[in-house]
Amino acid sequence: MKIRDKILIQKYFLNIFNGIFLVPGLVLLQFGLWLLYDRNNLFSVLFSSGDSRLVTYISCMFLGAGSIIIFTSAMGFLGSVKEIKCLLVIYMSFQILVFGTQFAISVLTFVKKEEVHNQWNNRIDEVISEYGNRSLAEKEPVWNILNAVQHDMECCGRYNITQWDKNKNKGNSTEIPCSCTKSSLKKWFCDVPRNSTYYMGCEEYLDTWFENTILILTAINVGLLIIQIFVITLTAQLFRNIKKDHIWPNES
């Protein structure tokens, strides 16, 4: 097979894999913007507390990773189409760097999984203890998210309904959040018979959501690592086959 034919085939498949690699970059960029500007979501509630800047750091990580992937993909596309060897070298170097970073993140996620889970549970307990405190009106969006979780999942508290006995913001000891009941009242606490409340805790549902999210992210990351192996290999072969700045049609 002539070198020109090899290059055309390699450019074709490289741009396909590069396009696939570009999609997660756009997703990461969009997710980072969402976390940065919309703090009234379950993720932000579970991973932020007080003056913690954890969510901001995570948002910046997603924005940075997404921007790098988009920039790298554009560079790879330009380098392959225009057959610019310098851009191909930079592109391949970025891919190797991103590959190593993703692999390190995968290992770190696996190692820190239990620590993150414990932080998650502690944050839920903190939200429950603050719930309904009139001096913390700025926390109402967080409480509304908790209400939505309890109402939609038909659960109450993290482990069960008795966890709300520790809340000091109730009018009396028999009150519980209205979202723990079948009531449609739009207020924080309701004084209703216990037989009309949800006794099961939300922890099981949230743990399932957490495990599924980790599984999906891991699967995406593994898929990206496989794609990057193909991309790095194709880029190296394309670079090797490109001769200077131009290849004569009859060259074999």
Tokens of 151: 């109402």
Task: Please answer whether residues 22 and 70 qualify as being in contact, where contact means their C-beta atoms are separated by less than 8 angstroms.
Answer: yes
pLDDT at position 251, please?
43
Report pLDDT for 39: 55
200 bridge partner residues: 160
Residue 28's SS3 state is helix
Rounded to whole angstroms, how far apart are CA atoms 74 and 67? 11
- Burial call 84-122: b when 16+ CB within 10 Å, e when fewer: beebbeebbebbeebbeebeeebeeeeeeeeeeeeebee
Digit-by-digit pLDDT tens for the chain (252 residues) are 677 777 788 888 888 888 888 887 788 788 777 766 665 555 555 555 444 455 566 667 777 777 888 888 888 888 888 878 888 888 888 888 878 877 777 777 677 667 767 777 777 888 888 888 887 777 777 788 788 888 888 888 888 888 888 888 877 777 888 888 877 777 788 877 666 788 788 888 877 877 787 777 777 777 778 888 888 888 888 888 776 445 444 444
Return all residues near 15 (Cβ < 8 A) that are at least 6 apart.
77, 80, 81
* Span between the terminal Cα atoms of the chain, in Å: 8
Q: Taking the domains of the chain in order of start, what are their residue ranges?
A: 3-125+219-241
pLDDT, residue 171, reads 75
